[in-house]
Amino acid sequence: MKRPVVFVVMDGVGLSENTVGNAVKQAYTPTLDYLMNTIPYTAIQAHGVAVGLPSDDDMGNSEVGHNAIGCGQIYAQGAKLVNQSLESGEIFTSETWNKTMAQAQNSTLHFIGLLSDGNVHSHIDHLIAMVKQAKLSGVKKVRSHILLDGRDVPATSGLIYVEQLENLFKELNDENFDARIASGGGRMYVTMDRYDADWAMVERGWKTHVLGEGRQFTSAREAIETYRTEGGYNDQNLPAFVIAEKGEPLGKIVEGDAVIFNNFRGDRAIEITKAFEFEDKDFPYFDRKVRPNVFYAGMLQYDGDLQIPTNYLVTPPRIKNTLSERLVAEGIKQYAISETQKFGHVTYFWNGNRTEKFSDELETYVEIKSDLVPFEQRPWMKAAEITDTLIAAIESNEYGFLRCNFPNGDMVGHTGNYLATIIGVETVDLQLKRIMDAVDKVNGILVVTADHGNADEMFEKSKDPNAAPKPKTAHTLNPVPFFIIGKEVAYKEGHFGLANIASTLAELLEVEKDPSWLESLVK
């Protein structure tokens, strides 16, 4: 067999020269320090147009990042797709939109989704455009079930978006149109679980949005301010709330209603979609009590293999010619591993939004189950277990290409806990040394990079020099490092990004790259 190639993603570990609030710089990282001081490396772009987003003001994320790495091409992604559809008006002439409007004429149109302008899972502008169009289409009653962000935007910025939405409703509401916020909660507490990590989140969302069960408030502002006073919650962890009048929920989802889930990114939309669409015999996750017969649509199709949702407003990118396909064609055995929180990134997103393997014989997937505890309480997560299992696979000499993701820099970074994030980065550094030794033992090649920044910028910038720093929980716009260890290489000069990695890996594996891929990073 040719020299095996091991590919490691240090999720959320970007490059920044700033030292204040930089958990990567402040961490004890002898392995990364050694690499940066002894071998050539380059910095590559992991955000904006380099990963198919509308502009370089748009932060990257793990989903589009792993898409780009795994397919070697730049596809229009998420927000860009939706923006194009809104600008052309195509979204409002689609069959799904027309069916949704028809269903809602004599019932209620519900929107569920993340309320922010973070542009990673959703954008408030998309919701605003759809509410306006719904009124023009003759819909009389709209209810919005809001999921507060605090990860892709500042940690306690939720009231900004609530006010923006409430002002829109005041402008539109009249004797023939009634739009109001009906329920909500923090994205890490209700509804937006992913990879089957914590279905209790989805159950809480179902009870809140659909059944109208939970603590009642007169407004979203009252709910947010009360919870912050009582428990010091930031937006992403805010408990669930139901808006009610005279003890009655404003927006239970009932038989005959229409529902649009207005997130465009798929990972945290799949489980709530299953709750709406799957029959009882196919839904063992929790007791829904009532499953109203509604017309349900997603902003995009969230899983092309599972074909969910059945109805969607904007067609997602059809990603072809991935690296995995190419390696399967060459008969190269592949191994993919991470813990639950990022398992889908080294499988589903890596393979171009495909759930199934290209070859059961040539591809091995290993998921290490994540702990169901707050990440700041256990910032080492499952890094050691991932490394133990990966090293065994490396030493088996069975695989030509092995890939893994360490979620620590991203998942712990999203908590805003600076000390915990430093520990998370140090954890990854320790495991990286173990992997380096294992790869060297089998005369392999190790490639190390990241999918976007996060841990490298943990404080929000303030215009007030005397103000105490506020935690930053969002991704950064910083580039990420790219190392090749075990082979002498020289990097090309120019502007490169994550989509240049597939060609580089193919070259290291001595495989001809697909003609559709961007060029390799090495000369």
DSSP string, 124-162: HHHHHHHHHHHHHTT--EEEEEEEE-SSSS-TT-HHHHH
Q: Which of 16, 55, 62, 144 is catalytic?
A: 62
Cβ contacts of 371 within 8 Å, gap of 6 or more? 378, 381, 382
Q: How far apart are CA 393 and CA 404, in angstroms?
A: 11
Residue 459: Cβ-neighbour burial (10 angstroms; 0-12, 13-18, 19+): middle
Instruction: Give the SS3 label for residue 39.
Output: coil
Q: How far is CA 508 from CA 57, 66, 247, 498, 501, in A?
A: 33, 19, 65, 16, 11
Q: Which uninterrupted H or E stretch holds 164?
A: helix 158-172
Q: How far is CA 509 from CA 6, 115, 192, 321, 331, in A?
A: 10, 43, 38, 17, 12
For residue 24, the one-letter residue type is: V
Angle at 320 between CA 312 and CA 523, to 5 degrees: 135
Closest CA to 91 of 153, 58, 133, 54: 133
Instruction: Give the SS3 label for residue 321.
Output: coil
Q: How far apart are CA 426 and CA 417, in angstroms?
A: 14
Query: Backbone dihedral region of 350: left (phi > 0), alpha (psi from -120 to 50 degrees) or beta?
Result: alpha
Number of Cβ atoms within 10 Å of the Cβ of 349: 26
Q: How many residues does the chain have?
A: 523
Is 88 a catalytic site residue? no
Helix, strand, coil shares, percent, the chain, to 5 = 35, 20, 45
Q: Which uninterrupted H or E stretch holds 25?
A: helix 23-26
Query: Which structure tokens are listed for 173?
Result: 């509401």
Q: At what angle do helices 78-88 and 124-136 cross, to 10 degrees?
A: 30
Q: How far apart are CA 427 and CA 42, in angstroms?
A: 23
Cβ contacts of 94 within 8 Å, gap of 6 or more? 313, 314
Instruction: Give the SS3 label for residue 50.
Output: helix
Query: Which structure tokens are listed for 94?
Result: 């689609």
Q: Catalytic positions, please?
A: 62
